[in-house]
Amino acid sequence: MIKRVFQIIRPEGKWKIAASVIGGAFLGIAIYLFIVSNASSYLSDDPATCVNCHLMSPQYSTWYHSSHREVTNCNDCHVPHNNVINKYFFKAKDGLRHATVFTLRNEPQVIFIKSAGIKVVQENCKRCHEKLNENTELKNLTGEKYLRGEDKVCWSCHREVPHGRVNSLSSTVHTFAPLPEDIKLKK
């Protein structure tokens, strides 16, 4: 199958060598990009991945100093867990948006969660805290209702959970956040 596809796109005669060189260059630079951007880490659940671009350092630090550090990572709250396909679809969609904004140097100084994220986080609050809220009916709160202005979400009241109240990109800049692996200072 792969061989047949290859044969179709491979040019005839005098173009053969040129095509191999260009194709090789193309593939080589793609592999280089894959390595320098640490692309495989984006498939993992490691929170250090989310500070690859040093934009999420305040979010990383505040989480790191919160009680949620003991039981959650970024993905536990920020990607959906209703099924595996949805999880990776959402992760890819959100990740590509972040990558685009970061590459274009378009990041705002203060980051707000978008409406898709609100729905996901709210569901994830309930995923773990459902038993706690059974009697108070708070488990009926949803991101959708909140966005229509009909109800609250968990963090409307629990405002400091878990990222605190000061939200600038530079707000927690002197706290510990891991630097990307390959450029860490050698001691």
**Per rule CB under 8 A, is residue 117 in the interface with other proteins?**
no
Q: How far apart are the C-alpha atoms of 101 and 107, rounded to whole Å? A: 6
DSSP-derived secondary structure for 46-71: -GGGGGTTSSSHHHHHHHHTSGGGGT
With CB under 8 A, what is the number of residues at the site for other proteins? 39
Q: CB of 150: closest distance to other proteins in angstroms?
A: 18
**Per rule CB under 8 A, is residue 179 in the interface with other proteins?**
yes
Query: Which range of residues in 50-58, 65-73, 80-88, 114-122 is near other proteins by CB under 8 A?
Result: 50-58
Whether the ω angle into residue 162 lies within 30 degrees of 0, i.e. cis, is: yes
**Per rule CB under 8 A, is residue 36 in the interface with other proteins?**
yes
Query: Which range of residues in 14-22, 60-68, 69-77, 117-125 is near other proteins by CB under 8 A?
Result: 14-22
- Kindly tell me which residue out of 109, 137, 148, 187 binds other proteins, with binding defined by CB under 8 A: 109
> Both tokens of residue 19?
């095509």
**Per rule CB under 8 A, is residue 33 in the interface with other proteins?**
yes
Strand partners, 114: none
- 3-state class (DSSP) for residue 105: coil
| Cβ contact 47:60 at 8 Å | yes
- Residue 58's nearest CA partner among 126, 107, 16 is 107
**Per rule CB under 8 A, is residue 37 in the interface with other proteins?**
yes
| Cβ contact 47:71 at 8 Å | no
**Per rule CB under 8 A, is residue 17 in the interface with other proteins?**
no
Q: Which residues bind other proteins (CB under 8 A)?
A: 11-13, 15, 18-19, 22-23, 25-26, 29-30, 32-33, 36-37, 52-54, 57, 102-103, 108-110, 112, 165-171, 173, 179-180, 182-183, 185
